[in-house]
Amino acid sequence: MAWASFGAVAETPAADGQAISRAIEPAAAAMLADTQSPKVRISGGAWVVAGQSHSLTGWVSDDVAVSKVVWHNTRTGLIGTATLSGAGTVASWTIGKIPVVAGANLIYVAAFDAAGNKTRIETTITANATTSDGTVGPCAGFYPAGFQLAQGKLVQPWATTPQPQRGIATRGYNYGTCQMRLTDRAADGLPGYARNDYSRKQPFNADDSAQLIAAGDGSWHLYEPATGRYIRSLSYLPGGDGLAGDAEPQWDPLNRDLLYYMNSEGVGMLLRKIDVKTGVRSVQANFAARLKARWPAAASASTAAEGSPSADGRYWCLMVKNSAGSRLGIFTWDKTEDRILGMADHTGHIDNVSMSPSGNYCVVNVPYVGTTVWPRDLSSSRQITNDGQHSDMAIDKNGDDVYVSNYLRISDPVLKDGDVYMYNLRTGQKTTLFSSYLNGTTTAMHFSGRAFAKPGWVVMGTQAEGCARTSCSQQWAHRKIMVVELAANPRIYNIADTRVSYVDYDSAPVPAVNRSLTKIAWNSNWGRSAASTETYNVQIPSYAIPER
């Protein structure tokens, strides 16, 4: 399924002044004197049958009387008439179903008044052909029957290849996966970089028809992940209240058009929401009075830009700070009931907080001091580890919440320095996955456990390898996107080389996976500066990663 692009283009009045040779009644004479064309706009729409039919809604007005609204799909040649709410000077209209075909469907919507004056606007509805393996857009039909991902701790030499053009399916040099450049920041006017925000946050909406991208000026934008088509800005919206800076956008897991966000860095203690199709914005929750009752100096509430709610979007864990940025505490919240479930003081340094996929736990990440897990009511805490490196939470094959990270201290009874591991939030069991210290080398990594519909796996991306020797050789985990099994001695599937030349954090790949583990987004500067970072997507067949 794809995204439909809404928004009227310039209104085009039809030609008038045609000769009328018959006698007319006085009322008809008044109509003839009417030369003003109606005004029409599109306000929304939705898929009726995914990729096959679409609805549209809107408004129409005229100085005398609205007559009718019709539509025409230029791809199929089909035409139809919208349902009007009335026949006065202002009416709403609805088109219940417009059949579409794969590709871009240019739809004309024309409004007529009683005198025959016409105004036509247009919109494009894009439907992607979806194959049985779940691949869409340029990647549809890419994989031959029986395709298998490259498995194991493989070392494949990096190759210098030209940077792909946006929207074109390319075969990964080493691993044969379908890769596509999503963004073209220069063509789309995005300053600095155009990058996936972070591995712990879901960039794809509920049906993978839209993808969030952050630009170098703090603005946020929507793209169509299947094709790389730019949809719209979410920052430069009429009337203000657009997403800006660390707005922490979070997709609703069921409604593909609904996005939650905050003021930058959570200032004001509000959770907002926006319908990304219509641009309609409102406040989902105001925490200010409730938090000030506990912490009078409270000024902001956020995850510190790196957390997420539970997999169903219901439970949230947020950190509270004063206007000087000092931490005051943490709290958990139930979105369904708009109810705070627990509060706890926490004045030490907190890097970020996040809710577990089940919503049963809040994890508080404190680098080099200690990462702790709290039950939903925040009644107690226990320590996961005495550090707080890059991490995410995922669902293991048994349905438990696990914390996945890289251990960089040497005082743990189970873990060794450099171990990549998982910690079961229910049982407290630690399991080593593998060591990241390979033949005298180190590497930086991020994890994405957002594939909630395919438990038992986590995506890992690496960059910025280092070495304790005078020279280092490339190792299997370097500059790569991988899918790692959440088990001892895990299966490892090689997905893509990142093509990252690490300059600074903005050039880090920070991969993020969709819910079904069929799409992975990552950042790459393709060997250039951080400012040239673009977002790339890879699609893999739905059968490529085994179930649990």
HEC profile for 31-94? Answer: HHHCCCCCEEEEEEEEEEECCCEEEEEEEEECCCCEEEEEEEECCCCCEEECEECCCCCEEEEE
pLDDT at 171: 95
Q: Which two tokens stand for residue 82?
A: 């919208």
As a whole number, mean pLDDT of residues 411-430 equals 92
pLDDT in tens, 499-546: 998 888 889 999 999 999 999 999 999 988 777 899 999 999 999 999
Residue at 115 is within a domain = yes
pLDDT at 181: 97
Residue spans of beta strands (DSSP E) within 258-302: 258-261, 270-275, 281-286, 298-302
- Number of domains composing the chain: 1
Please give the Cα distance from 407 to 263 (Å, whole number).
Answer: 33
With DSSP H G I counted as helix, E B as strand and the rest as coil, what are the percentages for the chain, rounded to 5? 5, 45, 50
Residue at 158 is within a domain = no
Residue at 146 is within a domain = no
pLDDT in tens, 182-237: 999 999 999 999 999 999 999 999 999 999 999 999 999 999 999 999 999 999 88
Q: Residue 58's domain spans which residues? A: 4-127
Q: What is the CATH number of the domain that holds 20?
A: 2.60.40.10
Please give the Cα distance from 192 to 544 (Å, whole number).
Answer: 35
Q: Is the pLDDT of residue 27 over 50?
A: no
Q: Is the pLDDT of residue 37 over 80?
A: yes
Percentage, residues of the chain above pLDDT 70:
92
Q: Is the pLDDT of residue 260 over 90?
A: yes
pLDDT at 53: 82
Residue at 148 is within a domain = no
Percentage, residues of the chain above pLDDT 90:
70
pLDDT at 12: 40
Q: Which two tokens stand for residue 144?
A: 């031959």
Residue at 343 is within a domain = no
Q: Is the pLDDT of residue 20 over 60?
A: no
Residue at 247 is within a domain = no
Least confident range of 129-133, 464-468, 478-482: 129-133
355, 380, 426 from 429: Cα distances, Å: 19, 18, 8
Q: Comparing 467 with 50, which gets the higher pLDDT?
A: 467
2, 4, 168 from 128: Cα distances, Å: 6, 11, 14
pLDDT at 434: 97
321-327: long-range contacts at Cβ-Cβ below 8 A with a sequence spacing of 24 or more? 321/266, 322/295, 322/297, 322/298, 323/297, 323/299
Label residue 14 by pLDDT band (50, 70, 90): very low
pLDDT at 541: 96
As a whole number, mean pLDDT of residues 238-265 equals 93
pLDDT in tens, 85-97: 877 788 889 998 8
Residue at 219 is within a domain = no
Q: What is the mean pLDDT of the chain?
A: 89
Residue at 436 is within a domain = no
Question: What region does 439 belong to: left with phi over 0, alpha with psi -120 to 50, or beta?
Answer: left
**Of 359, 40, 392, 387, nearest to 201 (Cα)?**
392
DSSP state of 165: P
pTM attached to this predicted model: 0.79
pLDDT at 429: 96
pLDDT at 39: 93
